[in-house]
Amino acid sequence: MNKGHHYEVSLYGVFSPVDLKAILDRMTLHSESSAPLHLREVVFDPLVRQADAAAEQGILQAQKDMTDANASWVLYSYLKAESSRVYPEAMVRPWAICHVMGDGLGFAAALGYIRRSEIYKRGFVFRRDGLVIQIFQIEHVDSKTRLSIPAHVDSLWKVEVKTAAPVRNTQELPLVKNSIAAILEVQLMMKGLLDLRREDILAS
């Protein structure tokens, strides 16, 4: 592990709409706060990707909180996740965050990235012990109107349990280890209702 990097620690899950109430009830009982979630998320790839450095170049993800009229764009830069042999319990991947005033998508393009996909996430967000827990359905974007298409009532719900801020890992401050422990507490808390596991992907 590169000691100079900051890391995101995460687990993921999916569930049927019939389980929504039970999952929300349990999450509310064991969380510090909750709020509506409505995020616009755009994923970018490097416009030019070197063949011998594909994993190191990573991807860029832009998010905007649609519940706040004054919210700015936030750019998340992700590199390849650490090996599951090193971290079998959760996904650990290097990341960096940049808040952008104004045109965040234009800024990403100016950095040399090209848009790959765009979705909206709508649901609920919870906070617990330095973690952000998002429970949402995905709304895709109409190619003509560029407006979001409401999710079907029977669409699966997704869950992302992540560290709320980048964590640093040193011998003196093993923050990644502590974050994994906090995430595994959520995994245990939801046992019997929701199966949370690591997802071996470059970005969600």
Task: Say which CATH number the domain at 40 has.
Answer: 2.40.320.10
Q: Give the pLDDT of residue 38.
A: 98
Question: Would you place residue 203 in the very low, low, confident or very high pLDDT band (cuts 50, 70, 90)?
Answer: very low
Does residue 49 carry a pLDDT above 70? no
Does residue 185 sit within a domain? yes
The widest CA-to-CA distance across the chain, in whole angstroms, is: 53
Does residue 74 sit within a domain? yes
> What tokens does 145 get?
């109107």
Does residue 195 sit within a domain? no
Does residue 139 sit within a domain? yes
Does residue 98 sit within a domain? yes
Range of the domain at 57: 6-189
Cα–Cα distance for residue pair 75/58, rounded to 1 Å: 13
Q: Give the pLDDT of residue 145.
A: 87
Does residue 102 sit within a domain? yes
Does residue 78 sit within a domain? yes
Does residue 203 sit within a domain? no
pLDDT in tens, 83-129: 899 899 999 999 899 999 999 999 999 999 999 999 999 999 999 99
Cα–Cα distance for residue pair 117/34, rounded to 1 Å: 28
Question: Would you place residue 48 in the very low, low, confident or very high pLDDT band (cuts 50, 70, 90)?
Answer: confident
What domain count does the chain have?
1
